């Protein structure tokens, strides 16, 4: 530890590189946490569904008809601006939102949170993640 100031003086490039790498890792981790702040895995989603959570599919209607999670309600992209009105009775209940891969659902979670929904989650990995865990999908 006594040679640290000497090392810093003699190797400023390496020190700057280490600091830049540490900052990059910190920024990456913070962005990942912010992006997945409302994301839950399939097993947690099942637990919430068993406790009465509403499940909302934000994929297009054709994709919903081709296969969806049992008990899910379809809210196609063209109706997302009405989500607060359509889902108002679920405002105090857990709401699980999913899309195909989990990207569109994260945006919907943020929008519902801004509308006052306190317990909104996105399904991590979306329906693809659900299928990857060999969980059932129903068709209309």
- Residues serving a catalytic function are 99
Q: What is the CATH number of the domain that holds 46?
A: 3.40.250.10
CB of 118 within 8 A of CB of 43?
Answer: no
- Domain match, 118 and 49 both: yes
- Domain match, 20 and 80 both: no
Residue 72 lies in a domain: yes
Could you report the per-residue pLDDT of 5-21, keeping only the tens digit for each? Answer: 898 899 999 989 999 99
Residue 89 lies in a domain: yes
Domain holding 46, by residue range, is: 39-132
Q: Distance (Å, rounded) from C-alpha 100 to C-alpha 58?
A: 9
Tens place of pLDDT per residue across the chain (140 aa): 788 889 889 999 998 999 999 999 888 877 765 544 578 999 999 999 999 999 999 999 999 999 999 999 998 888 877 887 888 888 888 999 999 998 888 888 888 888 888 889 999 999 999 999 999 999 87
- Domain match, 21 and 46 both: no
Q: Is the pTM of this model over 0.85?
A: no
What's the N-to-C CA distance of the chain in angstroms?
A: 67
Edge-first strand listing for the sheet containing 54-57: 39-40, 120-123, 95-98, 54-57, 73-74
């Amino acid at each position: 530890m006594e040679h640290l100031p000497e090392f810093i003086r003699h190797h400023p490039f390496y020190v700057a590189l280490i600091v830049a790498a540490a900052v990059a890792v910190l920024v990456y981790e913070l962005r990942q946490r912010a992006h997945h702040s409302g994301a839950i895995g399939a097993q947690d989603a099942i637990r919430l569904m068993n406790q009465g959570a509403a499940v909302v599919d934000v994929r297009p209607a054709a994709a919903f008809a081709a296969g969806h999670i049992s008990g899910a309600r379809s809210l196609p992209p063209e109706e997302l601006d009405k989500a607060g009105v359509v889902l108002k009775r679920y405002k105090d209940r857990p709401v699980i939102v999913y899309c195909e891969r989990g990207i569109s659902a994260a945006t919907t979670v943020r929008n519902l949170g801004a509308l006052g929904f306190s317990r909104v989650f996105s399904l991590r990995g979306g329906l693809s993640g659900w299928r990857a865990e060999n969980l059932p999908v129903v068709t209309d």
